[in-house]
Amino acid sequence: MGASQAVEIDAWLRQGGIVVTASERAARALASAFHRARLAEGLTAWPAPNIQDWNGFVRSAWAAHTNDGRLLLNSTQEQSLWADLAAAEGRMATLLEGPRGRLAALAMEAHELLCFHAPRFLRASARSGWQNDAATFNRWLSAFEETCRANHLLSSGRLPIELLPLLPIPAGQRERPPLLIAGFDRILPVQRALFDALGSWTEAGPSQPATEISFHEARDDQAELAACAHWCGQKLAANPQTRVLVVTQNAAAQRGQIERAFLAHSGSIPSPTFELSLGVPLGKVALPRAAHLVLRWLSGTLAEHELDWLFSTGYAAASLRESSALQGHMRALRRRGLEQAEWTLQAFIQPIARRANESPLPGEWVNRMTEARRRLDEFERRPQSPLDWAELIPQLLESLHFAVSQALSSAEFQAVRRWQQALETVASLGFDGRRIHWKEFLAVLARTLDETLYAPESRNAPIQIAGPAESAGLTADALWFLGASEDAWPARGATHPLLPPELQREARMPHATAQLDWDLAQVVSRRLLGSAPEVHFSYARQTQGVESRPSRLIVQLAAPPQPMPAELAPAPKGSPLTVLVEDFSRIPFRPGPVPGGAGVLTAQSQCPFKAFAVARLAAQRWEPAQAGLTPSQRGKLLHEVLHAVWAGPPRGIRTLAELLSLTDRQTWVASHVRRVFETRVFETGARPSLLDRMPVRYLELEQQRLTGLVIAWLDYESARIPFEVLETEAERTISLAGLTFSLRLDRLDRLNDGSVLVIDYKSGDVSPKSWELPRPDDVQLPLYAGFALGDDDLLGGLTFAKVRPGKLEFAGCVGAPSSTLFAGLKNSATLMKNALQAEQLDNWKVYIERLAKDFLSGRADVDPRDYPKTCERCGLQTLCRIQENRIALDEDESDGSGFDSAGSADE
């Protein structure tokens, strides 16, 4: 809707005329343009414009013309009817709630397509020849019509058709006021018939096409988005009153990416600068999601990551102190290895879990949860009406003090309102007198939350970001259309699976043919060209590594694309909001024991701040909860089994000869694995065993897996030159530069030349390259080799024992590998190429001592050895704030512009 159309609509509204728009958003946009125009005229009060969106318009017309007592179904009610009909057929696909709901949604959609595009097929006789899935839908539709007839119900899709016969104006009565129709990309036959029946109507005239049109080619989608955001910023900087419309096809999927680009590149214009038209599912909004999780937990299980998230929101606690205590409890559970895939409320609050934890659950919280659980239990004994359940929920949440720990923001208040509306919608399921169980109510509530889109009230931001369809009826001073590539525009879709394809083609239903997609895209593109005086299209030459070509349709309308102009290169990043303080002070560590063993010196080498944080601040990375055993638990089980295997008599062995003399390695290893699992996994006592937390069958499979892995490793070791295992899990205490370290060495072997081989078991992907000076990534084994052996011990080598499925090997530095480890090693073998050199050990010792001195002196710079890889494995970013540091460093290192000499965003 360009300037001429806007003038026409404004004049129409000023004269008291009625405008009907295609969408609610277009109605809001017109209303706000009308009010802006009056303000610009200097008025202080004026009559409200009469603008109605299509759905509201039809519903008010229905209310005005009939009182036949039929209940107009909302979409939840209608979907539940379709779900019941689908379930009545008893097919496998309809047994589960999820697939049944999806089928019901498809059936609703097919019904609505028929209502709008091919109403004659609503008569059962017209559908008699339908086959396969369409025949099934035909049966459901007949049953649906019958149910509606018998129970005086009306589908909202049928509303325009049912209205038509009621509309003719009786003789002698006055004509109805004329209508102006705006923002419809396509007026469907039923809509046209309805407007005709209402009297005189006219469509807002064509708008003048833009005077400035360009088509840009960007290097990739990031560059395209950055240039668009930067262009928006330039527009607003030049004139803060400017209104910009950005049209993008993938707003839902790319929401985060779009928001980041606009926050980064739209300049320093005061907030709010932009808003996206498309809301997010209410089920993804924090407050409703938290409420639903709490309710689910009262009678079911929550995954541990859901609990992590729930406690982090603070909504589940009555105060900030309680909230911290809940989060602390989760951390303590994880620290003590008590995590489990899913928690019932009962298991979470049972005394055994609480006793085993140094961070107890808040008593008041436990009491509230227990009481709410008891109250729900009473209700749950019998099915209730959806209304009863909906009334119980606010009471339960109130009794839990849900979301009272902090003042709610405006957006949260709006989310609360939408949550209440969602509850009311689900409560309306009782329209047919049904009674349902709590679980069913919660499942429908979850579906409703997922299907309800939530967008905070429009703040009338100057940059509006909308999809092509939602942009109908919107106008602006300038417009940018993103993603105009051949693959994406015209947008393509599939035909509907429940309707005969030939009917869809004949009725010109969406996506029935490629030509229809092309025609609709052409209409939308032309409409966009008339929505602003200045229009830019853009596409990315590469999207996620895949080459793209420009949309032929846009090339026809706007000429071939040109490289992105240099002036659209995003400006260099502004100064960081943080103030940098160079802190060279050091707080020395008191000489003595160091918590964390060799890991502290490895951390000191990787990043001095990491060592400081781990050993002196007791900082820990947050390990994500896992559905099964964590890698660290798997690693511990492997260590314990290998420790038991090589522990010597009575159950273990010590030498190669003993290994080779084992007659039934499978049974022997399996018995060791079983014993480790029995003591580790089935242990009882102060803390719940793994058996309480994981399914028995899963643990049996883990035993089988581990047995196979250990046998494969022993097969590998069977080929070694004779050796003797001196010690496993060998404990040593060493002193270094005044620091005391307690070490535990996985295994020490005596080789055939009398030297000692230091072995460390690893189930992950490791390499001796990590020991390379000048700044090793790992100093654990060099530390053991250099400082933990006895004075009489001659070092034969240090090696990782990589016990990984499909990758079993010793990887390290051994003095004479072909005469002490494996006979016949070729010179090209890695072990041969990496043979241990005498000076290597001396160099490591010097470096390790320096690390110890650095730690002792309090050296704690934020200085990762290999950014960003080191940081990605560290997990302490929130503490060291490396990101802010890097911004400052990057700026120092760059030429000040942050871009290449051409200054182009594109290259």
Which lies closer to ligand SF4 via its Cβ, residue 102 or residue 886?
886
862 touches ligand SF4 by CB under 6 A:
yes
325 touches ligand SF4 by CB under 6 A:
no
Which residues lie below 8 Å from residue 770, measured CB to CB, with a gap of 6+? Answer: 776, 777, 778
Select from 683, 870, 887, 891 the one that contacts ligand SF4 (CB under 6 A).
870
CB of 557 to ligand SF4, least distance (A): 49
DSSP annotation of 615 reads I
Q: What angle, rounded to 10 degrees, do the helices at 132-151 and 97-117 form? A: 80
Task: Give the binding range for ligand SF4 (CB under 6 A) out of 45-53, 258-266, 493-501, 607-615.
Answer: 607-615
| CA dist., res. 183 & res. 196, Å (int) | 18
Task: Give the binding range for ligand SF4 (CB under 6 A) out of 265-273, 539-547, 605-613, 695-703.
Answer: 605-613
Which lies closer to ligand SF4 via its Cβ, residue 276 or residue 598?
598
Task: Give the binding range for ligand SF4 (CB under 6 A) out of 203-211, 498-506, 796-804, 871-879.
Answer: 871-879
CB of 482 to ligand SF4, least distance (A): 34
Tokens at 864, concatenated: 């990762």
Which lies closer to ligand SF4 via its Cβ, residue 770 or residue 819?
770
814 touches ligand SF4 by CB under 6 A:
no
Which lies closer to ligand SF4 via its Cβ, residue 136 or residue 870?
870
Task: Give the binding range for ligand SF4 (CB under 6 A) out of 390-398, 608-616, 692-700, 829-837.
Answer: 608-616
Which lies closer to ligand SF4 via its Cβ, residue 515 or residue 877?
877
880 touches ligand SF4 by CB under 6 A:
yes
Which lies closer to ligand SF4 via its Cβ, residue 421 or residue 870?
870
Task: Name residue, tokens 């086959």.
Answer: 131
DSSP of 362-376, one letter per residue? PHHHHHHHHHHHHHH
Phi first, then psi: what are they for 105, rounded to 5°? -65, -40
Which lies closer to ligand SF4 via its Cβ, residue 857 or residue 897?
857
Which lies closer to ligand SF4 via its Cβ, residue 791 or residue 892?
892
874 touches ligand SF4 by CB under 6 A:
yes
Which lies closer to ligand SF4 via its Cβ, residue 118 or residue 871?
871
Which residues lie below 8 Å from residue 471, measured CB to CB, with a gap of 6+? Answer: 245, 247, 277, 528, 531
Do 784 and 824 form a contact (C-beta atoms < 8 A)?
no
Bridge partners (DSSP) listed for residue 463: 244, 274
Task: Give the binding range for ligand SF4 (CB under 6 A) out of 23-31, 199-207, 603-611, 702-710.
Answer: 603-611
| CA dist., res. 111 & res. 109, Å (int) | 5
User: Helical H runs in 621-749?
Assistant: 631-645, 656-661, 665-680, 690-693, 696-717
877 touches ligand SF4 by CB under 6 A:
yes
Task: Give the binding range for ligand SF4 (CB under 6 A) out of 434-442, 593-601, 831-839, 864-872.
Answer: 864-872
864 touches ligand SF4 by CB under 6 A:
yes
| CA dist., res. 255 & res. 681, Å (int) | 44
Which lies closer to ligand SF4 via its Cβ, residue 632 or residue 883?
883
Strands 212-220 and 534-543: parallel
Do 467 and 489 form a contact (C-beta atoms < 8 A)?
no
251 touches ligand SF4 by CB under 6 A:
no
Determine whether 758 is exposed, middle or buried from the number of CB atoms within 10 Å of its CB (0-12, 13-18, 19+). buried
CB of 774 to ligand SF4, least distance (A): 17
Do 551 and 488 form a contact (C-beta atoms < 8 A)?
yes
Neighbours of 472 (CB within 10 A): 25
DSSP of 463-531, one letter per residue? EEEE-TTTTTT---SEEEE---BTTTSS---PPPTTS-HHHHHHTT-TTSSHHHHHHHHHHHHHHHHTS
Which lies closer to ligand SF4 via its Cβ, residue 287 or residue 882?
882
CB of 609 to ligand SF4, least distance (A): 5
Encoded one letter per residue, x for contact with ligand SF4 by CB under 6 A and - for no contact, window 610-639 reads x--x--------------------------
Which lies closer to ligand SF4 via its Cβ, residue 397 or residue 614?
614
770 touches ligand SF4 by CB under 6 A:
no
| CA dist., res. 656 & res. 722, Å (int) | 6
CB of 610 to ligand SF4, least distance (A): 4
CB of 882 to ligand SF4, least distance (A): 4
Which lies closer to ligand SF4 via its Cβ, residue 540 or residue 880?
880
Phi first, then psi: what are they for 733, rounded to 5°? -120, 125
CB of 622 to ligand SF4, least distance (A): 13
Compute how many residues bind ligand SF4; rule: CB under 6 A: 14
Select from 12, 262, 609, 822 the one that contacts ligand SF4 (CB under 6 A).
609
Do 160 and 191 form a contact (C-beta atoms < 8 A)?
yes
Phi first, then psi: what are they for 307, rounded to 5°? -65, -45
Which lies closer to ligand SF4 via its Cβ, residue 521 or residue 880?
880
813 touches ligand SF4 by CB under 6 A:
no
| CA dist., res. 601 & res. 603, Å (int) | 5
CB of 305 to ligand SF4, least distance (A): 22
Task: Give the binding range for ligand SF4 (CB under 6 A) out of 84-92, 514-522, 604-612, 643-651.
Answer: 604-612
Give buried/exposed letters for 502-523 (b at 16+ CB in 10 A, else e): ebbeebbbbbbeeebbeebbee
CB of 594 to ligand SF4, least distance (A): 18
Which lies closer to ligand SF4 via its Cβ, residue 610 or residue 747?
610
882 touches ligand SF4 by CB under 6 A:
yes
CA 82 and chain centroid, separation: 31
CA 770 and chain centroid, separation: 33
Do 157 and 519 form a contact (C-beta atoms < 8 A)?
no
CB of 862 to ligand SF4, least distance (A): 5
Do 218 and 227 form a contact (C-beta atoms < 8 A)?
yes
Binding site for ligand SF4 (CB under 6 A): 606-607, 609-610, 613, 862, 864, 870-871, 874, 876-877, 880, 882
